Amino acid sequence: MPSNSSRPAPGRAQPINALPFGTGLGRRVWRDAAIGLGNLAALASRAAGRGTGTSIRGQVITKLYPPAFDELIAGRRIAAVSGTNGKTTTTHLLTAALRAVKGDQNVVTNADGANLREGIASAISQNMSAPLAVLETDEQVVPELITQGHPEVLIMLNFSRDQLDRHHEIKSLGKKWRDALIATGTAGPVAVGNIHDPLVTWSAEAAHRAVWVDMGVGWTQDAALCPNCGSVLIYQTDDWHCPGCPLRMHQPDFTVRGDDISTPQGQHWTLHLQVPGRFNRGNATCAFAAAIIMGVDPQIALDAMAGVRAPAGRFSVGTFGETRARLLLAKNPAGWAESILIMDSDPVILAIDSAIADGADVSWLWDVDFEQLAGKHVVCTGPRAQDLAVRLSYAEVEHSIVPDLSEALHGDYPGQVDVLATYTAFLNLCRMGGVTW
């Protein structure tokens, strides 16, 4: 009986010569069979109303053919997008810019946000001939994508506490990104980094080239200590630095203010986005910078990004009986803080869940400035509605509790109502409201 040390790590591809199907034609036949069975599983999932089937397809493919991820990301140009907030929207914006030049069939992407190894393999398996891939990438998968896929560009948006029972300490994620960038050197990506995030800055500085973006918004509650030396960071108006080492905020190569993108050389471009919020203007600026790095003309990139409406259902309007509701998604304190700013209706509906995809720990509710909702009525819904109600009580925000999502959305609301939800609740609401993508 072989020892455990001889076995491949869980979730990692086995060496080709350790697999039962050998090399060459046999390997390709096995891979194609795995993709075919994955497609059947996806079809069954959609028929059963269980979602798009992307994730189950990827799980089947990688289970039957473990090298799928490594093989499918190889041999193509890759633009990767990661960070705690904004991955999906930024990926859609960058994909639109690149497809405007390269054509739809030449750019493959995981458009529905399935961003683990399985989701990436699933997406690429549907267009293996595409020479270019735009990949939303889970934070934990980024180091492997850097070392195995050698992306040309990596957009690094931010680090914030998210799904604490899975990601744990965000500094460890930043260090893994940094180590991968050091290891790949000039074979690694150009890093497009958010200047307001010290952990992104520390990680991106390890790239052979970094392009810095002032996204016009910064979340500082997860960045009290210097990731390099541990000193307490000093924050001033629109600036930060470490008193104990050279780490500090960089001068931006691209700055967004309102709808205007500018460079230190005096160049200016205007955004015309259909996705709302200052955070999405920051996301768009990162996508714009990455598109230019990938060879897209600036105006072509801007025109293409203007066509992005509701990436993976975000900001879509669902219909719930007589109620029309604009559906917003936020998964952590940084996302909630920004999303609250664009909620226009009164009342508003806040939906909280704590399933595996959300993270079981909802203590982050206490880090969100719900006081911004003062003067509005809030309808608390979802499995953790009571937890939210306690937080709103301390914020002195008027609220009511309707735990059932369907009942909450079928209320008597004047006009269109804004709904902000965590991931699982958001998916349920999309399905209930007829929102597809």
Q: Is 229 annotated as a binding residue?
A: yes
- CA-CA distance, 193 to 247, in Å (whole number)? 14
Q: Is 245 annotated as a binding residue?
A: yes
Our answer to whether residue 104 is catalytic in this structure is no
Contact 200, 282 (CB under 8 A): no
Catalytic residue among 361, 367, 369, 418: 361
- Each residue's pLDDT expressed in tens, for the chain with a length of 437 residues: 333 333 334 344 444 444 555 567 778 899 999 999 999 999 999 888 777 889 999 999 999 999 999 999 999 999 999 998 999 999 999 999 999 999 999 999 999 889 999 999 999 999 999 999 999 999 999 999 999 999 999 999 998 876 544 545 788 899 999 999 999 999 999 999 999 999 999 999 999 999 999 999 766 777 889 999 999 999 988 899 999 999 999 999 999 999 999 999 999 999 999 999 999 999 999 999 999 999 999 999 999 999 999 999 999 999 999 999 999 999 888 889 899 999 999 999 999 999 888 888 888 899 899 999 999 999 999 999 999 999 999 999 999 999 999 999 999 898 999 999 999 999 999 999 999 87
**Residues written for the chain:** 437
State the distance between the two ends of the chain, measured CA to CA, in whole angstroms. 49
Largest CA distance in the chain: 69
pTM comes to: 0.90
Domains and CATH numbers, the chain: 7-64 (no CATH), 68-305 (3.40.1190.10), 316-433 (3.90.190.20)
Backbone φ and ψ of 282, nearest 5°:
-65, -45
Contact 191, 158 (CB under 8 A): no
- CA-CA distance, 430 to 317, in Å (whole number)? 9
- CA-CA distance, 104 to 301, in Å (whole number)? 14
- CA-CA distance, 86 to 312, in Å (whole number)? 12
Q: Which helix (H) or strand (E) holds 429?
A: helix 423-433
Q: Is 430 annotated as a binding residue?
A: no
The burial class, CB within 10 Å (0-12 / 13-18 / 19+), for 75 is: exposed
Q: Is 226 annotated as a binding residue?
A: yes
- CA-CA distance, 393 to 390, in Å (whole number)? 5
- CA-CA distance, 328 to 314, in Å (whole number)? 6
